[in-house]
Structure 1
C-alpha cells in the first residue's frame, strides 16, 4: 500500500486517477504538470507545475518527497517525459507504471493512412486533399509549414507556436467534442482530409467517426515506442490494481 503517489499528468485519465486516489484517507497524491497549458483546470490532491530537470532531477524529487509509486499518465506522445520517468524510477527503485490507453483501431469503412511521423504525414497530404483539419497539437506545426498550397484548420487549446503553414485558420477550443460537433466543423470548413496523432481513448475519437461518416481520408501518426522494460496498463482501474487498491 503506497503512502505517496506521483502522477505525471496532463490527460483525462490522470485527472480521474488523482480524484480517485485523493479520496483515500492517508494517501498523499501529487500530480505533476509540464506547465504548457496556462489553465489546466482543477485537479484533486497536490499539484506541481514545471519540469524536473531531466531524469536525474526527477530521481532527486522522488527521493526528497519520499514517493513510493510513480504513475506516468502523460500523453502517449510525451516520449521524453516517459523516458525520463523510466530512468528515474530505475535509479531510485520506485515502482512505476505507464497508463497507456489503447490505440485506435480502424474499422472496415475507415480510410486511414498510418505514418510514423509528422514529416511523413506532411509528405502524404498533397495527394489526399487541399483543405486539412490538423489536430496534432500546437507544437508540431513546423512539419507542415512548407505546404504553401494547402489550407489548414488547426484546433488547439491555446495559440500554436510558429512556424506554421501560411494558410492556417486557428480554432481555440477544448474538448471533448461530439460527433455532431466534429461533423459540423468538417462540413463548415470544407475539410477533405484529417490529420491526427494516435492518441487513443474516447475523449477525442469523435472526429474519426465524423470522418468515417463523411468518407474522408485520415492520416494517423503512429505512437512512439515505450522504453524497454516499462510496465504499461490500459486504464485507471488497472492502475488501482497495480497499486493494490480496489476501485470503490
Structure 2
C-alpha cells in the first residue's frame, strides 16, 4: 500500500508538471473558430511559447506572482487565454493585432495599421450536419436526414508577411463595422475565424465582450488536434463510438 501511494504521488506530480509547463488538453465548445476548429475537436496546447503565469497552473494555483519567461505571440497565432474581464473562462482565438497596431473592421474586412488585409473567396466550407455541427440557420442547410450538411461562405485572409488562414463570413452583423482599436503595450487584439459567430476583441467588456486582451492572460498556443467527434455517439451504445469520430481532423497541426 505504501508503494502504491508513493506511485500515485509521483504520477500526480508528473501530471501537474506536464499540464503546467509542457502541454494541456482543451476542447472546442463553440463555432467561433470555424473553419479551423469545430465543436467536438480536442486539441493539445503548448504551454511554453509565451511563458507562464498562475493561469498556466491547474486550478489557477497562486504559485507565480507574475508571468515568467514571457514572450509575445505573433500575428496569426491561435492562442488560448483567460478571457477578461472576469478572467474565469478559457477562450481560443487568433491574434490579429499586437502592441502599437491599429485594428478596425469595415464591411467585415480587417484594416490593420491603415491597410485592408487581402482576402479571397475560396470554396465553401461544407460540414456534415450533426449534434456538434448544427447549421447556423436553415438558409445554410442542404439536404435532409443523414445526408444533411451545412454550407458556409469561406475566405482566405492574409496578414502582412504572408501568413494566411481561412475565415467564414456568413452575413452582415453589427460587428462588421467597428471604431479603430489601438493596441497598447502588453495587450493583443484577437478574433475568431468565424467572424459572425465570435465574441472577441471587437466588443468591449462593458458591452458584454472581452475587449483587448492582456498578454498576461495567455495560457498556451494551439498545437495539434488529437481527437474529434461529431457528437452522435452514445456512451451506452459502443457501436456508435467509431462512426462518430471525425478521423480526418485528427493530427491537424497549427
Return the TM-score normalized by structure 2.
0.26
Q: Which has the higher contact order (CA 8 A, sep 6+)?
A: 2
